[in-house]
Amino acid sequence: MSSASALLCNSIPAHDRVIWLRTGMGIKAELGEAGFALWDTWSQQDGSYDRRAAKNVWRSIKPTGKVTVGSVFHLAQANGWRDDGATRVPTPDELEERQRAVAERSAQVEAEIAHARAETGKQAAAIWSVANPGEAGPRLSAAQECLRGGYAQGDRRGKAAAILGYPPKCNGSTLEGRLLVAPVRVGDRLSTLELIDGAGRKAALAGRGTKAGGYWTAQPLPDGAGDDVILLIGEA
């Protein structure tokens, strides 16, 4: 794989996950475990680069799969590379500069996500604080103390819409009537809310990454360490 470094660094985009994965497959088929450093360096061009995720994906790739190094050259050619002998391998300084730019972009993205999460958390707390605990509503009984409901939302003058600045929607349709309010928590922190209307349509509050690692419960969780307790976990 003589001009692999130049192919990866100068031609193939790293932001598309399918291309990212196929490139890794082709490199591993050609170079085996020795190819990880090459693939990892190229992967760092993308702002969403995660070294732990890259290592996990690399370990899952079988070196004898159907994707070969030919696919890597094909991807490079599709993105403008030509085998004319003029391709230049980046210098260590150039690679370092690219990695610095990636690190700056990653830090910026992380800061933007953190800000969005904080703003969504404030909105969630505001809505939760004015909801009606234990009031009967769609999918809600008085025994379900950890859920709240009771918004008049359909006329777009509901409390939720007033706090958010927009009417919550599900696939383009505005949630209507009284809403069940389910708190999504990450650890002990209120991260976002899921709002569910009487028709079963649901919407989480806008905000990047606010549901990641979160959960909500239909009943209060038991106290203690959980001995002899069975929890049923599903995807909302």
* Average pLDDT estimate for 178-201: 84
> For a pLDDT cut of 90, what percent of the chain falls above it?
0
Task: Report pLDDT for 98.
Answer: 63
Residue 153's pLDDT band (cuts 50, 70, 90): very low
**CB contact at 8 A, 146 and 217:** yes
Give the lowest-confidence range in 9-18, 67-76, 110-119. 9-18
Comparing 217 with 163, the larger pLDDT belongs to: 163
Write down the mean pLDDT value for the chain: 76
Whole-model pTM?
Answer: 0.53
Average pLDDT over residues 14-18: 82
| pLDDT for residue 162 is more than 70 | yes
The residue with greater pLDDT, 135 or 59, is 59
User: How far is Cα 221 from Cα 74, in angstroms, rounded to an integer?
Assistant: 54
Q: How confident is the model over 149-178, as a mean pLDDT? A: 72
Query: What b/e string do you get for 40-69 counting C-beta neighbours within 10 Å, with b at 16 or more?
Result: bbbbbbbbebeeeebeebbeebeeeeebbb
pLDDT class for 156, splitting at 50, 70, 90? very low
Residue 8 has phi, psi (to 5 degrees) of: -70, -45
How do residues 163-173 score in pLDDT, each as one tens digit?
888 888 888 88
pLDDT mean over 200-219: 78
Residue 68's pLDDT band (boundaries 50, 70, 90)? confident
**Does 18 have pLDDT greater than 80?**
yes
Give the whole-angstrom CA distance, residue 122 versus residue 116. 10
- Is residue 139's pLDDT more than 60? no
- Report the pLDDT value the prediction gives residue 136, as an integer from 0 to 100: 45
Of the ranges 5-14, 59-68, 100-109, which one carries the lowest mean pLDDT score?
A: 5-14
